[in-house]
Every structure is written in C-alpha cells, then in structure tokens.
C-alpha cells in the first residue's frame, strides 16, 4: 500500500517556540532532528505492519527543506522544495495523488485564533486571519484531510500538539490522534522526550495500519474556502487570481467541485498576497 505523510514542524517533538522554526533560529537544528525522528518512527510503524509499504513524505513547513534526508528512513521518499504556487499548488500535500491508500499528518498545530494555541496559525500566519471550509472555521489539518479525501485517501493518524486534538475532534471524532506534548500556551508546552515519542509514534502507526483504522471524509458536492486576511492590500493582490471571489474588504472565497482544485486556487491567491518575495518561498 502507498502512504502519504504530510509534515509540519510546530507540532513535532520538542518544538514550542519561534526560534525553532526557521534556519536562523538557534533551536532549528535540534527541531530538524526531532521532526525527522517523529517521521522515522511513523515509517517504522507503517513498515512493521506492511512490509511492502511505499511511503512519500511531504516536507510542508516554512522553507519546506527541514527534514534531514541523510537521517530519513530509506524506505521513504521526500518531497522537498518551497511552497511557491509554481512548485507546490497543494502546499503540504503536494505529491499526493489517487494512487495513495492512506494519509498521515505529522507535526501539526492548531488554527489561527485558537485561544492559548501552541504556535497556532493557518498556513501563512502573517496573512491569514481566518480560513473557513464550507462555512466552518478550519485549520491546516482539516484542509489537508479534505485534499486527501478528494483523492479518495483516508487519514490514518494525526500527530501534533495536545491543543490540536479538540480541533480535530470537531470534524473527525474517530481518527487516531497522538500528542507529542501538552500545550501550556502560545510558546510553551510539557514535552515528551524524542526517545519516548519515537517509540510511542511507532507503536501507534503500526496499530493504525495493522487494524486499518482509517478515516475517510465524505467529499462535499462543492468546496468553498473563504479566507479573511489581515490587510486590505493583501486582498487586492489575491483578487488578481482567476476564480477568486471578493466577499468584502479583507475576505475572498474560491469554490470548486473538487477540494484539491479549490485549494490550488486558494494557494495561488494566498502566495500572491505577499508583497515581496518571502525568504521561505525562495
């Protein structure tokens, strides 16, 4: 079977602070190791239950060159490179297609506006104030699950910060969730050690695959993504994208029968809201 692992960093083992999120931060190198460790644990678990597993990992945080390829389990392949629309119109999910059987989300965090949420934001923290999916506020985990579902791919496991679990339960009461840390506030948590999360993630991933604990979303007839941005001029730039509907001064929406197509339009518009080339998009 084929497995797609969409990966973020804020919900990885030991990551609680902005200085761990980008290459110029003093905690970044350790965060890279811990994230790679979380992914390797999931790969070991998958392969323990499915020796013929084909695994693709999508590096989906910031510069999208975070995972340590040297240290990545050789049974997986890695999607590397910045999330420019020309590269990765599906952002964290780029590389997925209908040939995959199971998706997993590793290193995830809560959506923008979550009270006390650990490193909470939605895709582009400086731009997106609120994002909703068919009228309900949604975070990255749900959006990625919707993209996966549009390819018929169910979600098997979500790994992230403890405050993400209630967010996930609002749209999926049953999917397996594992917390790498207990959230205390926006930049603090009670962290499990990398050794502990490695053994726990491996065991949970193995059980998910062995028992086929997969959760497939129903695809809606149409998908509308509605984004409220922080500033009006951001919307002016987003509005130049074909298919973008301006709702009000700071809000636009895109609609498509297919969730992945709706996301591609959304991502095209969002990456255009950014005035100067962003270091993480270079």
* For Zn ion, the closer CB: 61 or 217: 61
Of 11 and 103, the one with the shorter C-beta distance to Zn ion is 11
Binding piece for Zn ion, criterion CB under 5 A, among 61-69, 184-192, 195-203, 224-232: 61-69
Q: How many beta carbons lie within 10 A of that of residue 247, not counting itself?
A: 13
Is the Cβ–Cβ distance between 8 and 110 less than 8 Å?
A: no
Instruction: Please state the closest distance from residue 272 (CB atom) to Zn ion, in A.
Output: 20
d(CA 80, CA 92): 10
Candidate ranges 58-66, 75-83, 110-118, 201-209; the one touching Zn ion (CB under 5 A):
58-66
Kindly tell me which of 83 and 89 has the beta carbon lying closer to Zn ion.
83
**3-class DSSP state of 176:** strand
Alpha-carbon distance of 4 to 201, in angstroms, equals 16
Q: Return the residue nearest Zn ion (CB atom).
A: 61
The rounded distance, in Å, linking the Cα atoms of 183 and 51 is: 35
DSSP state string for 235-250: HHHHTTSTT-EEEETT
Nearer CB in complex with Zn ion: 10/142: 10
How many CB atoms sit inside 10 A of residue 100's CB? 20
**Which region holds residue 164: left if phi is over 0, alpha if psi is between -120 and 50, else beta?**
alpha
CB of 10 to Zn ion, least distance (A): 5
Give least dist CB 62 to Zn ion, A: 6
Interface residue with Zn ion among 3, 4, 7, 8 (CB under 5 A) is 8
Question: In this structure, is the dihedral angle defined by the CA atoms of residues 107, 113, 114 and 118, taken in order, positive or negative?
Answer: positive
| Distance of closest approach, residue 21 Cβ to Zn ion, in angstroms | 7
SS3 at position 212: coil
Q: Which stretch binds Zn ion (CB under 5 A): 29-37, 43-51, 57-65, 81-89?
A: 57-65
111 interacts with Zn ion by CB under 5 A:
no
User: What is the nearest approach in angstroms of Zn ion to the Cβ of residue 37?
Assistant: 17
Min dist CB 92 to Zn ion, Å, is 8
Identify which of residues 10 and 167 has a Cβ nearer to Zn ion in the complex: 10
SS (H, E, C) 100-129: CCEEEEEEECCCCCCCCCCCCCCCCCCCEE
Verify binding: residue 17, Zn ion, rule CB under 5 A.
no
Binding flag, residue 61, Zn ion (CB under 5 A) = yes
Restricting to residues 212-251, name those near Zn ion by CB under 5 A: none
Q: Going residue by residue from 172 to 211, which x/- string records binding to Zn ion, judged by CB under 5 A?
A: ----------------------------------------
Number of residues that bind Zn ion (CB under 5 A): 4
Which of 129, 49, 117, 122 has its CA nearest to residue 91?
122
Q: Which is nearer to Zn ion, 20 or 223 (CB)?
A: 20
Nearer to Zn ion, 118 or 209 (CB): 118
Neighbour-count burial for 148-168, b at 16+ CB within 10 Å, e otherwise: bbbbebbbbbbbbbbbbeebb
Q: Give me the residues that bind Zn ion (CB under 5 A), please.
A: 8-10, 61
């Amino acid at each position: 079977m084929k497995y797609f692992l969409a990966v973020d960093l804020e919900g990885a083992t030991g990551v609680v602070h902005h200085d761990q999120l980008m290459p110029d931060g003093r905690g970044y190198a350790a965060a890279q190791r811990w994230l790679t460790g979380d992914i390797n644990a999931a790969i070991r678990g998958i392969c323990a239950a499915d020796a013929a597993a084909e695994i693709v990992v999508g590096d989906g945080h910031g510069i999208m060159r975070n995972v340590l390829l040297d240290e990545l389990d050789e049974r997986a392949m890695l999607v590397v490179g910045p999330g420019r629309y020309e590269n990765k119109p599906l952002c964290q999910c780029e590389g997925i297609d209908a040939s995959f059987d199971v998706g997993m989300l590793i290193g995830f965090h809560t959506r923008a506006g979550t009270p006390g949420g650990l490193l909470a934001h939605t895709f582009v923290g400086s731009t997106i104030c609120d994002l909703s999916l068919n009228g309900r506020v949604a975070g990255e985990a749900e959006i990625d699950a919707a993209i996966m579902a549009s390819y018929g791919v169910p979600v098997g496991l979500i790994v992230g910060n403890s405050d993400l679990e209630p967010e996930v339960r609002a749209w999926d009461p049953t999917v397996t969730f594992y917390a790498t840390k207990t959230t205390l506030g926006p930049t603090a948590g009670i962290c499990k050690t990398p050794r502990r999360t490695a053994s726990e993630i491996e065991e949970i991933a193995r059980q998910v695959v062995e028992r086929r604990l997969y959760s497939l979303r129903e695809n809606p007839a149409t998908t509308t993504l509605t984004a409220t941005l922080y500033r009006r001029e951001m919307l002016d730039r987003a509005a130049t994208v074909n298919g973008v509907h301006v709702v009000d001064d700071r809000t636009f929406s895109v609609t498509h029968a297919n969730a992945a197509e709706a996301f591609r339009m959304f991502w095209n518009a969002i990456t255009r809201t950014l005035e100067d080339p962003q270091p993480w998009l270079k």
